[in-house]
Amino acid sequence: MNVANYIAITFPSCSANEGFARAAAAAFAAQLDPTLEELGDIKTAVSEAVTNAIVHAYPDTIGKIALKAKILEGDVLELTVRDWGRGIADVEKAREPLFTTGGEERSGMGFTIMESFMDTLRVTSKEGQGTKVVMRRRIAKRGRR
């Protein structure tokens, strides 16, 4: 697929940067003229992916998180959130609703939320090497261009 535009941002896994990642993804997606609902879905999915990296990849330390956003052919927004933390031992198990390794205060719904708000969700991970979450969402044309 041809890439029409892209950004790449790297930031520390501080909880304050979750809001920054949401805002950056929303600002980038705005060029596709999404509805407020679409924009809210995108922001929520990015928030969940970044929060997962902060809480699970680096539970006892500050690490690096990368956010990449691309606009692909057909007005498809692709968002990638990558960390180099602990990794996930069993990705399929981690994607089950209500499963969490983050303690009682975590809902275990992060991947489920991402999947419900985006068209596709792909998660790859290796223990000790980190996790990559790739999400895509087609933004319907609304009288632009």
52 in active site: yes
Pair of tokens at residue 47: 């928030």
Determine if residue 49 is left, alpha or beta; phi over 0 gives left, psi from -120 to 50 gives alpha, anything else beta: alpha
Whether residue 103 contacts residue 48, with contact meaning beta carbons closer than 8 Å, is answered with: no
Catalytic residue, from 17, 18, 22, 52: name it: 52
Q: If we measure between CA atoms, which residue out of 62, 67, 68 comes closest to residue 14?
A: 62
Q: Is 106 a catalytic residue?
A: yes
Q: Is the dihedral of CA 111, 114, 27, 20 positive or negative?
A: negative
Q: Which of 48, 78, 86, 137 is catalytic?
A: 48
Catalytic-residue membership of 127: no
Name all contacts of 104-111 with Cβ < 8 Å and 24+ positions apart: 106/55, 110/48, 110/49, 110/51, 110/52, 111/48, 111/52
Active centre residues (catalytic): 48, 52, 106
